[in-house]
Amino acid sequence: MADLASALTSACSTVDADAVKEIIDTDLTDARINRFLNAAYYTAKPIASNLDDCGGSSMFCEIVVWLAAHFITAYERQTKSESVAGEWSVSYLGKEGMGLEASLYGQQVLAMDCSGMLAKVGLKRATFDVISYEDLEEQEPGSTYYD
């Protein structure tokens, strides 16, 4: 049986599998939910000190619960609709590669995170190429540098 991380239980004493089951309907065992809670805690931990303007440690604990629900949704791939018309047709909530935007629970996490730090997770870093005027002068007239 997977226990909650001691760091999580000391930071958020009211967070447990039952708290997650309050917001998401799942048949997962408490032990499996605890694994998602542990992952959510360590994912959200870097933002904990940046939530003072929106509820502090209480908000952090709420974010952990909602983030665990988001992880469960990604794991269980919740269906939006199923139909039988000679064959099975299933569509899933969210899209792959959308990060926290992929589920209603992740979207709620983004709304609760007043630091904005979780919204930046997984974003590609910007890169810049520095070019000189000499580089531009060597280009043929009418061409662009990024051919």
Q: 124 lies in a domain? A: yes
Q: 107 lies in a domain? A: yes
Residue found by looking up tokens 């447990």 in the block: 16
From the list 51, 40, 38, the residue with the least C-alpha distance to 117 is 51
Q: How many domains does the chain have?
A: 1
- Predicted confidence (pLDDT) per residue in 68-117, tens digit: 999 998 887 655 556 666 666 555 555 555 788 888 899 999 999 999 99
Q: 143 lies in a domain? A: no
- Predicted confidence (pLDDT) per residue in 113-141, tens digit: 999 998 887 555 555 556 565 655 666 66
Q: Which pLDDT belongs to residue 147?
A: 46
Q: 1 lies in a domain? A: no
DSSP summary character for residue 78: -
Structural contact between residues 66 and 51, judged by C-beta atoms closer than 8 angstroms: no
Which residues span the domain enclosing 93? Answer: 6-137
Phi, psi angle pair for 144, to nearest 5°: -110, 160
Q: Is 99 left (phi over 0), alpha (psi -120 to 50) or beta?
A: left
Both structure tokens of 117: 């730090």
- Predicted confidence (pLDDT) per residue in 23-62, tens digit: 999 999 999 999 999 999 999 999 999 999 889 999 999 9
Q: How far apart are CA 94 and CA 102, in angstroms?
A: 4
